[in-house]
Amino acid sequence: MNRLVVFFTFSILALLSQAIELDFCVGDLNLPRGPQGYACKNPTTITTDDFVYTGFRGEKATTNIFRNNVTLASAEAYPALNGLGISMGRLEFGVGGVIPLHSHRTSEVIIVIRGTIIAGFIDTNNRAYYKRLEVGDVMIFPQAMLHFQINVGRTSATAFVSLNGANPGFQLTTPSLFAGNLPAQIAEQITLLSHNEVMRLKRAFGTA
Amino acid sequence: MNRLVVFFTFSILALLSQAIELDFCVGDLNLPRGPQGYACKNPTTITTDDFVYTGFRGEKATTNIFRNNVTLASAEAYPALNGLGISMGRLEFGVGGVIPLHSHRTSEVIIVIRGTIIAGFIDTNNRAYYKRLEVGDVMIFPQAMLHFQINVGRTSATAFVSLNGANPGFQLTTPSLFAGNLPAQIAEQITLLSHNEVMRLKRAFGTA
Amino acid sequence: MNRLVVFFTFSILALLSQAIELDFCVGDLNLPRGPQGYACKNPTTITTDDFVYTGFRGEKATTNIFRNNVTLASAEAYPALNGLGISMGRLEFGVGGVIPLHSHRTSEVIIVIRGTIIAGFIDTNNRAYYKRLEVGDVMIFPQAMLHFQINVGRTSATAFVSLNGANPGFQLTTPSLFAGNLPAQIAEQITLLSHNEVMRLKRAFGTA
Amino acid sequence: MNRLVVFFTFSILALLSQAIELDFCVGDLNLPRGPQGYACKNPTTITTDDFVYTGFRGEKATTNIFRNNVTLASAEAYPALNGLGISMGRLEFGVGGVIPLHSHRTSEVIIVIRGTIIAGFIDTNNRAYYKRLEVGDVMIFPQAMLHFQINVGRTSATAFVSLNGANPGFQLTTPSLFAGNLPAQIAEQITLLSHNEVMRLKRAFGTA
Amino acid sequence: MNRLVVFFTFSILALLSQAIELDFCVGDLNLPRGPQGYACKNPTTITTDDFVYTGFRGEKATTNIFRNNVTLASAEAYPALNGLGISMGRLEFGVGGVIPLHSHRTSEVIIVIRGTIIAGFIDTNNRAYYKRLEVGDVMIFPQAMLHFQINVGRTSATAFVSLNGANPGFQLTTPSLFAGNLPAQIAEQITLLSHNEVMRLKRAFGTA
Amino acid sequence: MNRLVVFFTFSILALLSQAIELDFCVGDLNLPRGPQGYACKNPTTITTDDFVYTGFRGEKATTNIFRNNVTLASAEAYPALNGLGISMGRLEFGVGGVIPLHSHRTSEVIIVIRGTIIAGFIDTNNRAYYKRLEVGDVMIFPQAMLHFQINVGRTSATAFVSLNGANPGFQLTTPSLFAGNLPAQIAEQITLLSHNEVMRLKRAFGTA
């Protein structure tokens, strides 16, 4: 009898059950979620396709007000990321397109694939760091800092971002204030914006 | 049609599902607990009241043997803290009241709101750091170090504590030894206390 | 010879050097800083006073534009917090005083000590959670979420906050945009604010 | 009435529910698993036996191809470790026995209890650190580094290892390549091994 | 006098010193390194250029034995990543180019920018997950798992990777065994490779 | 020219500088310490001996008051552990020897190598879990819980412990109270021990 097969059997017996789920924990979106992510999908149902995300393929329309298109590959859209502490996004910019001011729980790196953008962040001392990025350039946006990207080229632009969390929690500053249920009076008091400007933006977001 | 509304819809579509649960994870105390806390309550049932804790309001009687009253706002009493790594407590001291020697998994800061206390901790070299604190004073008790507080003023006193864990796990040294099921003989061997003293304390705690 | 003294000597020999610095690491602000905080002050120079912070004592003037006063007890002002993952702040509100919209890397709890405030935060789905808090009430602001506090009582108000980081990094939204070096044109593009409003705010902050 | 009993009751009331599960979280292997481990077993069913592991007792046969026997006390075999970030293993070596090249997510310490082994690891600069260890000697294998142990004595040998994770995920290099479903052609391309050698090893593991 | 300027001054005073270094900690490669990364460069010397990495620009020759070119943007080459827990790499594949079997301390995501590759990883149960990826496709390689990429298209290919650590520690399996100082006899024992194959590979790497 | 040598050179160039220090960070005890451990020793001076600890070899006298001997292999005695989050200790028990009540920041596993002991811990609900352990048995002491070990056999005993921290910070309860500078009056108030017992113990430790 083959002695190596004996070893193989041994290693399976010793390692099979304990390791298979924690090598990865593909999220089961139907189970209750915990503070560290989703419960793991039954490992016997997992295939290679769970680990591959194809949602970035193809053209992305940039017809919204910011002339951008954001596709997020975070744990909900790509459950294999669950528990692994990393995620991605594709940013598509029309001519003049903008990713408006926002922040999140994690740090982020951006790489420009097509076109020319200005990317920047602001630190807690109100100092802005911003620069024109060409194809292949990378910029880091440190954890929780406000940041933005603007297409400053004559053509559309594409960038990919990666964040060190499976679910970074994007918070867009202007929509936070005007697109939800925050009362206009509070918005004014906590931003110093004028009443007229607050109402103009609430009307624009349909919440006036 | 309003172009900003289109953006708003876009941002909702892109961000709604992935972010809402992990911005916070209000604990559902009826679901199985994991090592990192409770599973998250269904986010559609969450209201502002989940995020506000009112259990510190009002007078607190200090009639126990230590003439203290401890109210803990940790994850069980205040499930919005679940997964967020922070909790609080209100300490009320009668005249001569004491928070006896204890430790926990996390660090703690205390702030005195009323009265005068001596607070202190002991490091692993057996060195005690203790000081008289007045209203507004803060002291830090580093992670896992034994510490205590004593009301040394002529009136009752109040302090608040904050700990960097949602469930810090308070372990009171004397009750650990005498208020539970630890046999007297073991208690003697592991503390060098005399048999008589051990039995006196077990009687005091009703476990002799 | 006393046998317990022998044990004591043993325990000192075994534990002295390895533990004393890591029970705590009072920051030495003169040494290079690392990503996890300051290098530790020489442990032989540490006294109880290092662990006690008295900067919250006394009255605090609320004469700035927001009629607030913020005193931060984070690692720079209170180096004993270095490496221990917790910090505090005192918030003083004049009548009508406001802590404007801001965010930070950590979660925060607030407790009201005097007066009546409205406190709130906004999640990444643009939903605002805000509520009137009375003396003794606590609210949690989850990690990285935009939040604010407003004195809505007829008197001044006081609150203490605690954050689960020694150096939370407060980022005030409006000053980030208008009090630093971010160009007006970029500020407009990334916020949708009007040119006039941006210029009004830059003038107000002296950066136009 | 006994005043200490009152205190005892107080402390039970204050601490019972919040702390008991998080002092430990003995894994319930029948509940869905999360990225940080198993959900906790109902604490009312827990006994001292949950915290004690006896699977290392007795003789262990070393009859496999590597003349070794590996017994893992990780979270699946010893659910009390769940969430506590530590685990152990017993390594038994026949004469000439080997623990082949492997790696895992965590760091590991080994202590030799019987016999003489050579233990070593390789860093990311391809430098190997290996040494002959006698009874009582300890070696550290840093996180994720390839490492191995070889019995070089004239007798069998025993060692214990401890790893700072409850489920370290042992990945054995040679079986990874030849004992599973990786195609021979890919194995050749990614290792530079010859076709003949790859096929010899796949035959040995029964996967040719 | 402008009241907003007063506020601005206030916020600078309150926040300047504590926050500026920890918003980011650009590594100073000349200072001693700690387990969590480099000490921080003097913040007064930091400019926007510190946050931008341009080393991915341009063509990359794929003339080595694997017909690949790997450019790493980790903390040493891009010190702004220090302490922020994220890094990137550019992978260039000639026709038939391969990134050979390797592992690291962190998880990794790959995105294909040009060409067609097969990417895969092997779990601790020896199961390989591998798939053909087209432009725009993403694959996740979970923490510490062995993985690889092979250009299977008719043209050269480009991919970017991101890893959730500033210094992931790439360990290439075959060079670990044959390109360094590991003795041939040990290499044979811990891999089951034949003596002839080990010597062939050591000669190929110039270490026989 | 040998093409593999080219690859080898490539991999050295790409990986050498960034990886070598962070694969491990052997502590340099002469440099300032940070909250996460020591700064790293110059990697060019590191040899295999840095990774091997031989301090557990040989007999250990158990002549102190507790008839025990504790040898700690933590980061100060064994600097290769620095930053790797694991450490060990050897516990030697004379007949009747005891490791008295203590706690630390980390979890601990114990394995009995010789003799018979009772080991136990107490949870925050004052419940003690203790059991007789034979050779080969393992027990887990969860993070920060008070615990102890007692030799209950007729011979001396040996055990090894492993802790998931490089510097766990052992805090011995009785010496904390009586072997240092804590005043007797405070010791009484925070423990409920009698004045006579406190003075007896202070005399025993030479601090009365």
Q: What angle do CA B27, B31, B32 make, to 5 degrees?
A: 105
Q: What is the DSSP string of B146-158?
A: EEEEEE-SSS-EE
- Give pLDDT tens digits for E121-180: 999 999 999 999 999 999 999 999 999 999 999 999 999 999 999 999 999 999 999 999
Helix B195-204 and helix B184-191: axis angle, to 10°? 130
Residue A177, phi-psi category: left (phi > 0), alpha (psi -120 to 50), beta (remainder): alpha
Q: Mark yes or no for CB contact A65/B38 under 8 Å.
A: no
E197: Cβ contacts below 8 Å, ≥ 6 apart: D193, D194, D197
Chains B and E in direct contact, meaning 3 or more beta-carbon pairs closer than 8 angstroms: no
D136 interfacial to chain A (CB closer than 8 Å): no
State the pLDDT confidence band at E102, using cuts at 50, 70 and 90.
very high
**F54-102 per-position pLDDT tens digit:** 999 999 999 998 999 999 999 999 999 999 999 999 999 999 999 999 9
**What is the pLDDT, as a whole number, of residue B117?**
98
Answer yes or no: are the C-beta atoms of F94 and F151 closer than 8 Å. yes
Annotated binding site of F for Mn(2+): 102, 104, 108, 147
User: What's phi and psi for E88, nearest 5 deg?
Assistant: -140, 165
- To the question of whether residue E104 is assigned a binding role by annotation, the answer is yes
Expressed in percent and rounded to 5, the helix, strand and coil fractions of chain C are 25, 30, 40
Residue-by-residue DSSP string for chain E: --HHHHHHHHHHHHHHHHHHHHH---B-TTSPEETTEEPBPPGGG--GGGGEE-TT-S-----STTSEEEEEESTTTSGGGTTT--EEEEEEE-TT-EEEEEE-SS-EEEEEEES-EEEEEE-TTS-EEEEEE-TT-EEEE-TT-EEEEEE-SSS-EEEEEEESSSS---EEHHHHHHTSS--HHHHHHHH---HHHHHHHHHHTT--
**Average pLDDT value for residue range E24-41:** 92
D33-62 pLDDT, tens digit per residue, is 998 899 999 989 999 999 999 999 999 999
With CA atoms as reference, report the closest residue to C192 among F192, A200, A162, E145.
Answer: A200
DSSP state string for D24-42: ---B-TTSPPBTTBPPBPP
- Which of B17, B25, B86, B113 to mutate to probe the C interface, most C CBs <10 Å? B86
Contacts of B104 in chain F (CB under 8 A): 144
Look up the ipTM and state it: 0.89
pLDDT in tens, A104-113: 999 999 999 9
Of E51, E125, E164, the CB nearest to A129: E51
pLDDT of residue E19: 27
Residues paired with F118 in a beta bridge: F132, F150
Cross-chain residue pair A34–D33, CB shorter than 8 Å:
no
**Left (φ > 0), alpha (ψ -120 to 50) or beta: where does D144 sit?**
left
- F30 part of contact set with chain E, CB < 8 Å: no
D7 pLDDT band (50/70/90 cuts)?
very low
Q: Please spell the DSSP secondary structure of chain F, one letter per residue.
A: --HHHHHHHHHHHHHHHHHHHHH---B-TTSPEETTEEPBPPGGG--HHHHEE-TT-S-----STTSEEEEEESTTTSGGGTTT--EEEEEEE-TT-EEEEEE-SS-EEEEEEES-EEEEEE-TTS-EEEEEE-TT-EEEE-TT-EEEEEE-SSS-EEEEEEESSSS---EEHHHHHHTSS--HHHHHHHH---HHHHHHHHHHTT--
Out of C37-41, D88-92, D131-135, E4-8, pick the least confident: E4-8
Owner of token pair 């100060």:
F76
Q: Is C195 annotated as a binding residue?
A: no
Q: Give the confidence band of B22 by pLDDT, cuts at 50, 70, 90.
A: confident
For chain C, residues with pLDDT lower than 70 are: 1-21
Q: Which positions in chain E touch A108 (Cβ < 8 Å)? A: 86
Could you tell me which residues are beta bridge partners of residue A38?
A: A33
Annotated binding site of F for oxalate: 104, 108
The pair of structure tokens assigned to B141 is 């008790």
CA distance D19 to chain B (A): 5
Residue A36 in contact with partner chain B when CB distance is under 8 A: yes
- CB A150, CB C188: distance < 8 Å: no
Query: What's the DSSP call for residue A41?
Result: P
Q: Which residues pair with C9 in a beta bridge?
A: none
Neighbours of E3 (CB within 10 A): 13
Q: What distance in Å separates the CA atoms of residue C188 and residue C177, rounded to the nearest whole number?
A: 10
**pLDDT(E85) > 50:** yes
Q: What's the DSSP call for residue B42? A: P
pLDDT-derived band at E113 (thresholds 50, 70, 90) equals very high
Question: Which partners does chain F have (≥3 C-beta pairs < 8 Å)?
Answer: B, C, D, E
Q: Name the residue in chain C with its Cα closest to that of A191.
A: C174
CB within 8 Å: C6 and F72: no
The answer to whether E64 contacts chain F (CB < 8 Å) is yes
Helices and strands (H and E) in chain C: how many:
4, 13
CB nearest E88 (choices: A49, A54, A138): A138
Q: For residues F204 and F208, what is the distance between their CA atoms, to the nearest angstrom?
A: 8
Using the Cβ of A82 and the Cβ atoms of chain D, whether some distance falls under 8 Å is answered with yes
Whether E contacts D, i.e. 3 or more CB pairs less than 8 A apart, is yes
Chain-chain contact of C176 with A201 (C-beta, under 8 angstroms)? no
Domains of chain A: 33-169 (2.60.120.10), 175-205 (no CATH)
CA E164 to chain centre: 9
CB neighbours (10 Å) of residue C69?
22
Report how far residue C74's alpha carbon sits from residue B140's, in angstroms, rounded to the nearest whole number: 12
- Whole-model pTM: value is 0.91
Q: Which of B159, B76, B75, B74 is nearest to B115 (CA)?
A: B159
B192-201, D91-100, E31-40, E185-194: range with lowest mean pLDDT: E31-40
**pLDDT at position C17, please?**
28
Q: How confident is the model at residue A32 (pLDDT cuts 50, 70, 90)?
A: confident
The set of residues, in sequence order, having a beta carbon less than 8 Å from that of B132 and lying 6+ positions away, is B116, B117, B118, B152
- The answer to whether C161 and C88 are in contact (CB under 8 A) is yes
pLDDT digits (tens, 9 = 90+) for F110-166: 999 999 999 999 999 999 999 999 999 999 999 999 999 999 999 999 999 999 999
pLDDT of residue A187: 98
Q: How confident is the model at residue E67 (pLDDT cuts 50, 70, 90)?
A: very high
Whether F contacts B, i.e. 3 or more CB pairs less than 8 A apart, is yes
pLDDT number for residue D36: 87
DSSP of E114-151: ES-EEEEEE-TTS-EEEEEE-TT-EEEE-TT-EEEEEE
CB contact under 8 A, E4 and C63: no
Instruction: Give the tens place of pLDDT for each residue, A40-80.
Output: 999 899 999 999 999 999 999 999 989 999 999 999 999 99
Contacts of F163 (CB under 8 A, 6+ apart): D86, F74, F86, F87, F88, F89, F104, F106, F107, F108
Q: Least CA distance to D15: which residue of chain F?
A: F125
Can you read off the two tokens belonging to residue C98? 């406001």
